[in-house]
Amino acid sequence: MLSKRIQSKGILARLLEKGIKIFLIKEFKKIGHLKIDLIASSIQIIKGEIEKINITAKDINYKDLLFDKVELESNGIKIDFDLKNKELNFKNDPKVNFKILISEKSLKTVLLSSNWNWIGNIISREILNNKRLEDLKIRDNQLLIKTTKDIISNNELDIINIKIDTGKVYLYNKKCNKTIKIPLEDKIYIENLSIENNLINIFANSSISF
């Protein structure tokens, strides 16, 4: 059924898929195994409508934020497509449902990177009693953070639980009974977060502005 739909896909849908792919490749530092499936007839595209779009990508680097896999889905997108110049503009801010997979390695790299270590510093200050983050592991649905107070101190281990409340992500350190909310854009709503096979699975939605 899927192969039939792909074979019958019109030239305008194929052009749009190619245009979106070029746009994403330019926007990201790295993006691999990119797949775009756009569902819309040529008549819908001429009218400025896209029924649905699905995007799957792996090994993503966006401004030094690392994601192992991202799956996006959006419906009812309004577009302005200039066929002559092959230019695409979006006329609405569509709602996007997405799933993100983050591995232990990716999360550790981000928190220790020069661009994003400010998040690690906030975690250190708020729930780790100002101890420096040295290493991170994902085990048994928890984050295990190895910390040290100073150069001559021995490493300590803090067990951090992740929880979701009203669309936001919180980290909780039972040892010191402290909680911190992870800074996210207001328009991002986290529906669910789970850890399976040492991968963090995030299910969320957001409006996207173009």
- C-alpha dist (Å) from residue 201 to 68, 84, 160: 10, 41, 16
Regarding whether 139 and 113 lie in a shared domain, the answer is yes
Does the residue 207 lie in any domain? no
Evaluate whether residue 201 is within a structural domain. no
- The DSSP bridge partners found for residue 105 are none
Give the residue from 92, 116, 141 where a domain finishes. 92
Phi, psi angles (nearest 5°) of residue 20: -65, -40
- 32 and 71 co-located in one domain: yes
Could you tell me if 183 and 122 lie in one domain? yes
User: Does residue 37 share a domain with residue 111?
Assistant: no
Q: Is residue 194 part of a domain?
A: no
**Is residue 48 domain-shared with residue 110, that is, in the same domain?**
no
Q: Is 202 contained in some domain? A: no
| Same structural domain, 82 and 53 | yes
Looking at the structure, do residues 181 and 109 belong to the same domain, yes or no? yes
Q: How far is CA 164 from CA 70, 123, 134, 146, 192, in A?
A: 20, 17, 25, 23, 7
Domain with 157, as residue range(s), is 105-187
Q: Give the tokens for residue 137.
A: 């592991």
Residue corresponding to tokens 């661009």:
115
For residue 69, the model assigns a pLDDT of 96
Do 82 and 139 belong to one domain?
no
What's the confidence (pLDDT) of residue 188?
Answer: 93
Domain assignment present for 38: yes
Whether residue 50 contacts residue 40, with contact meaning beta carbons closer than 8 Å, is answered with yes
Query: Is 118 a domain residue?
Result: yes
Among 115, 114, 116, 153, which residue's Cα sits nearest to residue 132? Answer: 153
Looking at residue 9, what DSSP letter applies? -
Quick one: pLDDT at residue 166? 93
Q: Do the domain assignments include residue 175?
A: yes
- DSSP helix/strand/coil, 180: strand
pTM: 0.81
Tell whether 181 and 149 lie within a shared domain.
yes
Query: Could you tell me if residue 208 is inside a domain?
Result: no
CA distance 203 to 196: 13
Q: What string of pLDDT tens digits covers the 210 residues of the chain?
A: 444 444 457 788 888 888 888 888 888 999 988 999 999 888 888 888 889 999 999 999 998 999 999 999 999 888 776 666 656 667 777 889 999 999 999 999 999 888 898 998 899 999 998 888 888 999 877 899 988 876 666 678 889 999 999 999 999 998 889 999 998 888 999 999 998 888 999 999 998 765
Number of Cβ within 10 Å of residue 77's Cβ equals: 22
Listed residues 62, 92, 122: the one ending a domain? 92
Same domain membership, residue 55 and residue 27: yes
Question: What pLDDT is attached to residue 3?
Answer: 43
One domain for residues 121 and 182: yes
Please give the tally of structural domains in the chain.
2
Same-domain check for residues 68 and 13: yes
Contact 38, 56 (CB under 8 A): no
